[in-house]
């Protein structure tokens, strides 16, 4: 099942985000086969990062929670909040 992991950064945390980014990217690389989409949320001008959205395929919610907890960003205390929810892709439909 797909799970959307929606993370909101703490205020004024860009320095922590950038310092932790290499470890975060390396962590995500270990899950490429399960990844549907991943990337930062941005400020309206597109210049600053404000959080992350990661959509992954996991067997269950517990696996999604373990993944989110193991993220170096989470371990560094970057996030103000993390929401994990089951997600279903509807559009666009997959090619046949």
Q: Tens of pLDDT along 39-96?
A: 999 999 999 999 999 999 999 999 999 999 999 999 999 999 999 999 999 998 876 5
Cα Rg for the chain, rounded, in angstroms? 14
Protein fold of 2-87: Alpha-Beta Plaits (3.30.70)
Q: Are 79 and 34 in contact (CB under 8 A)?
A: no
Q: Which of 76, 70, 82 is nearest to 19 (CA)?
A: 76
pLDDT the model gives residue 93: 87
Residues ≥6 apart with Cβ < 8 Å to 26 = none
pLDDT at 12 over 90: yes
pTM of this structure: 0.93
pLDDT the model gives residue 94: 79
Q: Which of 36, 28, 72 is nearest to 57 (CA)?
A: 36
| Sequence ranges of the domains in the chain | 2-87
pLDDT band at 17 (very low <50, low <70, confident <90, very high): very high
Q: Are 67 and 31 in contact (CB under 8 A)?
A: yes
Measured CA to CA, the distance from residue 29 to residue 34 in angstroms comes to: 10
């Amino acid at each position: 099942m797909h799970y959307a992991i929606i993370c909101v950064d703490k205020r004024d945390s860009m320095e922590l985000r950038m310092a932790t980014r290499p470890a975060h990217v390396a962590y995500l690389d270990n899950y490429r086969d399960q990844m549907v989409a991943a990337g930062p949320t941005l400020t309206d001008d597109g210049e600053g990062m404000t959080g992350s959205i990661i959509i992954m395929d996991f067997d269950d919610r517990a696996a999604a929670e373990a993944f989110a907890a193991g993220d170096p960003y989470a371990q560094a205390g970057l996030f103000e909040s993390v929401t994990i929810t089951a997600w279903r892709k509807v559009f666009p439909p997959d090619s046949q």
